[in-house]
């Protein structure tokens, strides 16, 4: 980045340090990943210079012939990847993908039924400070206290009582496979529409490891940067009957010009996920999560629901007398990045909850497998046990930097 270095050394320096952090540490944030060099290159192209309000073939600006090609490729590829009738690849993020669906089917004041943020849901599923909680009337379901699985009896009871216009499935911190068909049954019974927010596990759906919501949901929303391993962005899939209204909700409803460099990077990501090696990547993410969960369980940590069958696990660190915030900071000092997180029925507060969330998508991208998860698990347990022992955390940090040299980050090295 020679020009950046000369023009703005402060930004150049911060980017270099972040690159170093990403390379030398163990990245275990469940919603993060490493993109390929091709995705990075697409995101850094001259397409950032172009306005393209509208859709391919129907733009409000001249000179759109090449960005039309890009957006059409992105739409075709993501439709093929997930077997969807219609795709909109313009949402800048997962939040905007969700907002676009709400704008398509809801009026202010309408009732939505979604997973409670405190049980693993997302901000845009009706949290009181989020637009979704201010504009609409959210009702929340959660997980059962005994096994931490989605309480479908509660989902059905709440749906019958409140008659929501839209039921939302999908979560940000739920370690189990979600039964989309069961949500579809409830939605059908009460005459609601179903939206599945598959942002976290889109890569697992693409790789055939998690059941697909596309055939049973009216709308499927997602980000492209988690298990799907693309640029930081969003998209929506839906049935043809909703296509026109959805497209209108995205533009001009909630967005102006699409970020065409990011649409290009999404097209590259979808192309990569269509390649024959992607299912093996998705399978390995899940195998790695299971392997890591076993190590953590055997080390005395409690896991929400007792384990995982997707890319993430939720660890209750109060079982070893820590809080989520203390655990996150200790792991950070050892070069291990996770995030503190509320766990179901948490008695603590969001800024210092009982849990940490751990995901395996990024380390799997670096080529780590179950054997490596044993070492990663040992470092996590060691750092948690020595949370206030600076010398030990520093030693782990050095060992991890050495270890990660054997697992180059795609696009960085």
Nearer to ligand DSN, 293 or 312 (CB): 312
| Catalytic residue flag (residue 53) | yes
Q: What is the dihedral of CA 183, 186, 189, 192, to 10 degrees?
A: -70
- Whole-number minimum distance, CB 31 to ligand DSN, in Å? 3
Q: Residue 75 catalytic?
A: no
Instruction: Tell me how crowded residue 200 is: count the other CB atoms within 10 A of its CB.
Output: 29
Among candidates 255, 210, 209, which has minimal Cα distance to 100? 255
- Contact partners, residue 336, CB within 8 Å, separation at least 6: 25, 26, 28, 376, 379, 380, 383, 396, 400
Active site residue 51: yes
- Does the footprint of ligand DSN cover residue 31 (CB under 6 A)? yes
Angle between helices 370-385 and 278-298 (to 10 degrees): 40
360 binding ligand DSN? (CB under 6 A): no
**Position with the least CB separation from ligand DSN:** 31
Q: Confirm if 25 and 336 have CB atoms less than 8 A apart.
A: yes
Instruction: Please name the residue that has the structure tokens 């989520």.
Output: 324
Determine the size of the site formed for ligand DSN (CB under 6 A): 4
Burial status of residue 347 (CB atoms within 10 A of its CB: 0-12, 13-18, 19 or more): exposed
Could you say which residues in the range 71-130 bind ligand DSN, by CB under 6 A?
A: 94, 122
**Does 233 engage in binding with ligand DSN (CB under 6 A)?**
no
Single out the catalytic residue among 24, 53, 177, 399: 53
Instruction: Choose between 31 and 354: whose C-beta lies nearer to ligand DSN.
Output: 31
Q: List b or e across 283-310, with b for residues whose CB sees 16 or more CB atoms inside 10 angstroms.
A: ebbbbbbbbbbbbbbeeebbbbbeebeb
Whichever of 172 and 323 has its CB closer to ligand DSN, that residue is 172
50 counts as catalytic: no
Residue 284 and residue 364 in contact, taking contact as beta carbons nearer than 8 Å = yes
Closer CB to ligand DSN, residue 55 or residue 201?
201
| Rounded least distance, CB 29 to ligand DSN, Å | 7
The smaller minimum CB distance to ligand DSN, of residues 98 and 212, is found at: 98
Q: d(Cα 183, Cα 217) in Å, to the nearest integer?
A: 9
Question: Site mask, ligand DSN, residues 168-187, x = CB under 6 A?
Answer: ----x---------------
Q: Which residues of 220-240 are buried (b: 16+ CB within 10 A; e: fewer)?
A: bbbbbbbbbbbbbbbbbbbbe
State whether residue 220 is helix, strand or coil.
Answer: strand
Cβ-based nearer residue to ligand DSN, 197 or 247: 197
Residue 93 Cβ vs ligand DSN, minimum distance, rounded to whole Å? 8
- Quick check: 355 and 317 in contact, CB under 8 A? yes
- Which is closer to ligand DSN, CB of 122 or CB of 176? 122
Which residue number, 73 or 313, has a Cβ lying nearer to ligand DSN? 313
Question: Is the backbone peptide bond immediately before 252 cis, with ω within 30 degrees of 0?
Answer: yes
Min dist CB 202 to ligand DSN, Å, is 12
CB 102 within 8 A of CB 136: yes
CA gap 345, 353 in Å, rounded? 11
Kindly state the tokens that stand for 227.
């298990």
Phi, psi at residue 232, to the nearest 5°? -70, 100
Asked whether the beta carbons of 293 and 318 are under 8 A apart, the reply is no
Residue numbers at the binding site for ligand DSN (CB under 6 A): 31, 94, 122, 172
List, by residue number, the catalytic residues. Answer: 51, 53, 197, 223, 226, 232
């Amino acid at each position: 980045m020679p020009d950046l270095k000369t023009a703005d050394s402060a930004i150049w320096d911060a980017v270099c340090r972040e690159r170093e952090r990403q390379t030398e540490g163990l990245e275990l944030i469940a919603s993060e990943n490493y993109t390929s060099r091709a995705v990075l290159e697409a995101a850094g192209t001259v397409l950032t210079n172009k306005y393209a309000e509208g859709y391919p073939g129907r733009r409000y600006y001249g000179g759109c012939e090449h960005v039309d090609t890009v957006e059409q490729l992105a739409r075709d590829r993501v439709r093929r990847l997930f077997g969807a009738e219609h795709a909109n690849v313009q949402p800048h993020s997962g939040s905007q993908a969700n907002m676009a669906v709400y704008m398509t089917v809801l009026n202010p004041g309408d009732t939505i039924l979604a997973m409670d943020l405190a049980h693993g849901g997302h901000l845009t599923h009706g949290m009181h400070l989020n637009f979704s909680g201010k504009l609409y009337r959210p009702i929340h379901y959660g997980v059962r206290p005994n096994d931490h699985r989605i309480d479908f009896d509660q989902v059905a009871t709440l749906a019958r009582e409140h008659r929501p216009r839209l039921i939302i499935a999908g979560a940000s911190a739920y370690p189990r496979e979600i039964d989309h068909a069961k949500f579809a049954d409830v939605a059908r019974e009460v005459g609601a529409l179903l939206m599945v927010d598959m942002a976290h596990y889109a890569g697992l759906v693409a790789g055939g490891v998690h059941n697909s919501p596309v055939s049973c949901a009216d709308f499927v929303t997602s980000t492209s940067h988690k298990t799907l391993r693309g640029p930081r962005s969003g998209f929506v899939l839906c049935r043809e009957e909703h296509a026109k209204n959805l497209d209108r909700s995205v533009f001009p409803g909630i967005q102006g010009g699409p970020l065409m460099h990011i649409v290009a990077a999404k097209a590259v990501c979808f192309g990569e996920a269509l390649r024959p090696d992607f299912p093996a990547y998705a399978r390995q993410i899940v195998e790695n999560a299971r392997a890591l969960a076993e190590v953590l369980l055997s080390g005395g940590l409690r896991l929400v629901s007792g384990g995982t069958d997707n890319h993430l696990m939720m660890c209750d660190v109060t079982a070893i007398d820590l809080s989520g915030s203390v655990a996150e900071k200790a792991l950070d000092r050892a070069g291990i990045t996770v995030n503190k997180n509320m766990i179901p029925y948490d008695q603590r507060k969001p800024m210092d909850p009982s849990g940490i969330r751990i995901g395996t998508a990024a380390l799997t991208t670096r080529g780590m497998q179950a054997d490596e998860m044993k070492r990663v698990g040992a470092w996590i347990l060691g750092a948690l046990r020595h949370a206030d022992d600076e010398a030990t955390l520093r030693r782990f940090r050095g060992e991890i930097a050495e270890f990660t040299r054997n697992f180059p980050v795609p696009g960085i090295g």
